[in-house]
Structure 1
Amino acid sequence: MNTYIILLRGINVSGKNKIPMADLRDLLNSLGFQKVKTYIQSGNIILESSKTKSVTCEMINVGIKDKFGFDVPVIARTILEWEKAINNYPFSKQNEKIVAFTFLDKASEITEIEIKNVGEDEYKINGDVVYLNCPSTFAKTKISNNLLEKKLQVIATTRNLRTTLKLLELAKDLTGF
């Protein structure tokens, strides 16, 4: 069995793409996934699957489309990939309110993009993760999922430091890692 941290992009945001977590867990269990756990309402899942990451993501995407009627991008990481993303964070983590990780559905060969008026906000593209340090706050930063998706030609979803660390903790608890 493989343990995956799964991220759904754009659910339960501003009343759009609403998926109750209990219904999502029921769906994932019905698809044959094991030890399904969700964390908060923004599409964070930990589960065990006998399938590869890509097959697992496809099954979840199709399942959500069939049950809830909308297309939701799905990104998966292993525990080791998740830890690597956290450990490679290039900026200070002292102020956790400005630290975030944008997870990409595939690695980007692009390492620099032009973003105007970012002020003190910083980013670093590292394969399938974009590291963010946003003193302006995430609500005001110009470094958004939509911008990164357009410039890098990927699917992107962002999680703050607290959520990223909590998902790692939950995944390790699930497996006894």
Structure 2
Amino acid sequence: MTAYVALLRAVNVGGTGKLPMTILAELCNAAGLSRVQTYIASGNVVAHSDASEDHVRTALEHQIHAYCGKRIGVIVRTASEIADVVARNPFRDMPGNRVMALFVDTPLPADPMEGVTGAKDEQIRVGKRELFVFYPNGMGTTRLRIPSEKTGTARNMNTVARLAEIAAALG
């Protein structure tokens, strides 16, 4: 069994895409996942599966689509990948709530500023399958727009670290 972390895109944000976490857990079970745990009401799941990452993503997207009637993107990573994201955080000396990992399943740009608009003091670094973004003034007033946001999903490093802990404990 592999421990996976599934990150849903655009769930429970700004009053749109409401999906109660109890329902999400049921959808995960229906997708064949076991030992399902959700974390905070923003579409974070830790669970076990014998299936591949692609199969977990596809099965979960199918279940969510059947329930919600619309497509919601799901990013899936193994527990070890999530732990690696925490370890590779280039902004580890900064407050975790001001550093985001933007998880993507598409190729990353060689230049992290490629196509970015609205940048002020923010800093972006390329990871393996994610971009790391440091918001020195917080996200509340930023005008930063990153092309990968359209298909990816971001979590602050406090959340990523907690998901890594839950996944490690799940085994």
- How high is the TM-score relative to the length of structure 2? 0.91
Does the alignment pair 1:155 with 2:151?
Answer: yes
Structure 1 window deviating more from structure 2 (39-48 vs 26-35): it is 26-35
Q: SS of the counterpart of 2:76? A: strand
Whichever residue aligns with residue 164 of structure 2, its letter is L
What secondary structure is seen at the aligned counterpart in 2 of 1:141? coil
**Structure 1 length as normaliser, TM-score?**
0.88
What corresponds to 2:139 in structure 1?
A: 138
Check conservation: 2:115, 2:147, Cα contact below 8 A.
Answer: no
- Distance, in Å, in 1 between the alignment partners of 2:13 and 2:71 is 14
Going from structure 1 to structure 2, the CA distance change for 1:92 and 1:81 (only over 3 Å counts) comes to closer
Deviations 1:106-152 (A, max 9, x none): 342433314344221100122311001101211222334xx3327xx
C-alpha RMSD of the superposition: 1.8
CA contact (8 A) 1:148 1:156 kept: no
- Percent same amino acid among aligned pairs? 26
1:81 offset after TM fit, Å? 1.1
Indicate the SS of the match to 1:28.
Answer: helix
Aligned residue in 2 for 1:171: 167
* Equivalent position SS for 2:164: helix
Q: Distance in 1 between matches of 2:56 and 2:118?
A: 38
Q: What are the residue-to-residue correspondences of 1:1-177 with 2, within 5 Å?
A: 1-112=1-112, 113-144=114-145, 147-149=146-148, 155-175=151-171
Contact 2:120–2:144 (CA under 8 A) maintained in structure 1: no
Summarize deviations over 1:3-56 as a string: whole Å, max 9, x none. 101100001112211111111111211222110000011000001111100111
Corresponding pairs, count:
170
What is the SS of the residue equivalent to 2:54?
Answer: helix
- Give, in whole Å, the separation in 1 of the partners of 2:106 and 2:117: 24
Conserved in 1, the CA contact under 8 Å of 2:61 and 2:73? yes
State the distance in 2 between where 1:10 and 1:117 align.
Answer: 21
- Alpha-carbon deviation of 1:71? 0.6
Deviations 1:141-167 (A, max 9, x none): 2334xx3327xxx72111011111110
Q: Which moved more, 1:60-69 or 1:81-90?
A: 81-90
